[in-house]
Amino acid sequence: DGGITQSPKYLFRKEGQNVTLSCEQNLNHDAMYWYRQDPGQGLRLIYYSQIVNDFQKGDIAEGYSVSREKKESFPLTVTSAQKNPTAFYLCASRDSDKYEQYFGPGTRLTVT
Amino acid sequence: AQTVTQSQPEMSVQEAETVTLSCTYDTSESNYYLFWYKQPPSRQMILVIRQEAYKQQNATENRFSVNFQKAAKSFSLKISDSQLGDTAMYFCAFMRLYNFNKFYFGSGTKLNVKP
């Protein structure tokens, strides 16, 4: 069954700690994306990757970092430099032919 | 920069009735894609419908159809025979075909379907 998995579903961290959110896809998609969603708001782009070993900053990249060592995986690290890290994070991959994005179930990160 | 505007933060509709959600966008490009995504309380984002800008024919998917007005930069979603399961946040999205296929999302419309 093809799809995108994100783990864990809920994550709790203390302020000042870095935390890595996992995103794995078996859809054989080249492009992958990370979004942040705050209550009552739309999705804001953090980082995106068109291909392995290449990625670009989105609109709100400060305080975040990514890697793309494998086609299937696009982990996001929320660093201690991110001032307001508590949010819902969504990972997506894009079909090259139809340009449709497919989303994972999301990770709710709470930093206290 | 591309912007996507959804001017209706919240809407309600009775079960079995029809409702239309509005979306406008701003771009100087001629080739692009438009999407409607649904986010139910589970928060899983689900693709509802897709429209290619070069196609004049409006896309339809079962009870869901769009009214795409390219000159007016308008992309509304019509839901016919509304069902309780349609209760969700609906996001309009614009994707440019160039510059790494970035997506731009609107702020969403919360749709409540009442029994």
For residues A99 and A70, which has the higher predicted lDDT (pLDDT)? A70
CA distance B55 to A9: 39
CA–CA separation, B35 and B90 (whole Å): 10
pLDDT band at A1 (very low <50, low <70, confident <90, very high): low
Cα–Cα–Cα angle for A9, A13, A16, nearest 5°? 145
In this prediction, residues B29-46 reach a mean pLDDT of 94
CB contact under 8 A, B103 and A33: yes
Shortest Cα distance, chain B CAs vs residue A50, angstroms: 7
Q: What is the dihedral of CA A45, A38, B27, A65, to 10 degrees?
A: -10
Decide if pLDDT at B101 tops 80: no
Choose the mutation target among B103, B104, B107, B109 for the interface with A, i.e. most A CBs under 10 Å: B103
* Residue B32 predicted with pLDDT over 90: yes
How many angstroms away from the CA of A42 is the closest CA of chain B?
4
Residue B73 CA to residue A21 CA, distance in Å, equals: 36
What pLDDT is stored for residue B96 in this prediction? 85
Reported as a pLDDT band with limits 50, 70 and 90, residue A39 is confident
Provide the percentage of residues in chain A whose pLDDT is more than 70.
98
* Nearest-neighbour CA in chain A from B106: distance (Å): 6
Task: Tell me the pLDDT of chain A averaged across its residues.
Answer: 93
Q: Are the C-beta atoms of A44 and A61 separated by less than 8 Å?
A: no
Nearest chain A residue to B44 by CA distance is A105
Average pLDDT score over chain B: 94
Q: At A40, is the pLDDT very low, low, confident or very high (cuts 50, 70, 90)?
A: confident
A chain contacts of residue B100, beta-carbon cutoff 8 Å: 48, 50, 56
Q: What is the mean pLDDT of residues A39-53?
A: 91
Q: How many CB pairs under 8 A join A and B?
A: 53
In this prediction, residue B59 carries a pLDDT of 94
A75 in Cβ contact with A45 (< 8 Å):
no
CB contact under 8 A, A106 and B44: yes
Listed by number, the residues of chain B in 11-70 with a beta carbon closer than 8 Å to a beta carbon of chain A are: 33, 35, 37, 42-47, 50
Per-residue confidence (pLDDT) for residue B98, from 0 to 100: 76
**Nearest CA among A79, A74, A69, A75 for reference residue A15:** A79
Per-residue confidence band for B97, with pLDDT thresholds at 50, 70 and 90: confident
Two tokens, residue B17:
């009735």
Handedness of CA B58, B8, B103, A27 (dihedral sign): negative
If you count them, how many residues does chain B have?
Answer: 115
Q: Of B43, B47, B108, which has the smallest distance from its Cβ to A42's Cβ?
A: B108
Residue B15: band (very low, low, confident or very high) from pLDDT cuts 50, 70, 90: very high
Query: Cα(first)–Cα(last) distance of chain A, in Å?
Result: 36
Nearest CA in chain B to A47: B102
Please write the tens of the pLDDT for every residue from A58-92.
999 999 999 999 999 999 999 988 889 999 999 99
Per DSSP (E only), the strands in chain B are 3-5, 10-14, 19-21, 24-26, 32-39, 46-52, 60-61, 64-69, 74-79, 88-96, 103-105, 109-114
The model's pLDDT over B60-92, given as tens digits with 9 standing for 90+, comes to 999 999 999 999 999 999 999 999 999 999 999
- Residue A49 to chain B, least CA–CA distance (Å): 8
